[in-house]
Amino acid sequence: MTQWLVLVYRIPSEPTRLRAAAWRRLKGLGAVYLQNSVAALPATPQTERALRKLRHDIVEMSGTALLLSASALVGETDLMATYQAARDDEYEEIIDRCQDFLAQVAKEHVAEHFTFAELEENEVDLVKLQRWFEKVSERDVFGAPNRAATESVLAECARVLEDYAGRVYQEESEGH
């Protein structure tokens, strides 16, 4: 049986930026909403620290918050499925961005645009994708199904970028 941390909170409706800030932080942690203002995460020392801090910040915003440690008596399969679906959605978004990355590198090949500036720009983009994957995989404590596909497409991106770098170096050494 999985232990969960559940944050039940209320934030004043104005200013709306306070509610948005709490929502963004919970989303960044990978929390899933059980209903309005009730979010859950698998219990880990990291998520507990983050939720304790968020609870403190909500109270500082003149809100109220209660952090609970819980296990589901009934419905854990549904909760787990919701959590897994959220991770799969994140992985799918990374895969989509990887496809954009691969298309961009292919476009550079077709245009025979082999410059160090393009290489550097593409390297920065790949690092961003890899860091994004690291963040999602850190909160993917149950191993969501799309994880392997995401790892595979990221490896393809790295291979394609390496091939592109080889062409940039070749063009440079030939003095083009």
65-70: Cβ within 8 A, 24+ apart? 65/7, 65/8, 65/9, 65/10, 66/7, 66/8, 66/9, 67/5, 67/6, 67/7, 68/5, 68/6, 68/7, 68/8, 69/3, 69/4, 69/5, 69/6, 69/43, 70/3, 70/4, 70/5, 70/6, 70/40
Respond yes or no on whether the N-terminal peptide bond of residue 145 is cis (omega within 30° of 0). no
Token code pair at residue 84: 């897994």
The pTM score is: 0.87
pLDDT in tens, 137-164: 999 999 999 999 999 999 999 999 999 9
What confidence tens digit (pLDDT) does each residue in 68-126 have?
Answer: 999 999 999 999 999 999 999 999 999 999 999 999 999 999 999 999 999 999 999 99
- As a whole number of Å, the CA-based R_g of the chain is 21
CATH fold for the domain made of 4-71: Alpha-Beta Plaits (3.30.70)
Domain coordinates of the chain in residue numbers?
4-71, 84-173
